[in-house]
Structure 1
Amino acid sequence: MLTPVVDDDGAPFWGYGTQGELRIQACANPDCGELRFPPRPCCPHCQSFDSEWRRMSGKGRVWSYVVPHPPLLPAYAEQAPYAVIVVELAEAPRIRLVGNLVSGPDAPLNSVPPERIRIGVKVQVVFSRSGLPRWVLERP
């Protein structure tokens, strides 16, 4: 399994993930408040360096997806076919996260057949033991 490369800006995202929370960085300037992902030190809207981490519901919808054939990484060949999805967050449609659609937090990548995926289907975030966000169908 891939592990995240944690930098100073993104460390809180991964830390919250290990606690089972999806939080997104937001500008703490009261005149702005824009959410941003990926995390970065400065707000691209108002240039403020003040930020906070807002808890999200973890609900979203599949905005796009791909089923790699053959898998891009040889270590994942035995789990193919599997889906890599782009999720648009319900409360922040401009924020999109990439992950896998699985049947549970630590399920194999191929635990949901690619034929079940549709653009617009509702999903909910779950977290692996390592804090990696993954996605399950809201109504399996």
Structure 2
Amino acid sequence: MLPPTPDPDGTPFWTHAARGELRIQACTNPPCQELRFPPRPCCPHCHSFDSEWRLMSGRGRIWSYVVPHPPLLPAYAAQAPYNVIVVELAEAPRIRLVGNLVADAGAGTRLDSVDPHRIRIGARVQAVFARIGDVTVPRWVLERP
């Protein structure tokens, strides 16, 4: 799998993921307090540059998904067909993260470990973390397999 390339604004996201924490950037301007993703220096709501990284539960629901046939990138060919899901976070429905639904939390779990026919819009999921190269990425498992 191809690891993500962290940029300066997103580095804290990856640092927290390496600790097994799903944190989302939040504005700390008192009247605003909006969560935002992807990370950026300025709040898109109030234009404040003040922010913090808030711990999320890691729970969410599948908002959308796709199963690429064939894979879009050669690096993924051996695991095709695999899924790519969009997860709406439980405590922040406007925040949606892209990842993969996997059968378990193991770092070696393949992207094709969940039968695509089992994926349902609205299914509840929980974040798990897997080390890919030098970066730890959030993946997702079904709350009730």
TM-score tier after normalising by the smaller chain length: over 0.9
- State the Cα distance separating 1:104 from its structure 2 match: 2.0
Letter of the 2:68 partner, please give it.
Answer: P
Q: Distance in 2 between matches of 1:74 and 1:57?
A: 34
**Structure 2 partner of 1:119:** 121
**Matched residue count:** 140
Shift of 1:103: 1.2
Structure 2 equivalent of residue 136 of structure 1: 141
2:140 aligned partner, one-letter code: W
Q: Provide the identity percentage.
A: 75
Post-superposition CA distance 1:24-59 (Å, at most 9, x none): 000011111000000000001111000000000000
Alpha-carbon deviation of 1:112?
Answer: 0.6
RMSD: 0.8
**Letter of the structure 2 residue corresponding to residue 116 of structure 1:** R
Gaps of 5+ in 2: none
Counterpart of 2:97 in 1: which secondary structure?
strand
**Alpha-carbon separation, structure 2, partners of 1:71 and 1:12:** 30
Q: Please give the TM-score of this superposition, normalised by the length of structure 1.
A: 0.97
Instruction: Give distance in 1, aligned partners of 2:70 and 2:53.
Output: 37
- List structure 1 runs of 4+ shifted beyond 6 angstroms: none
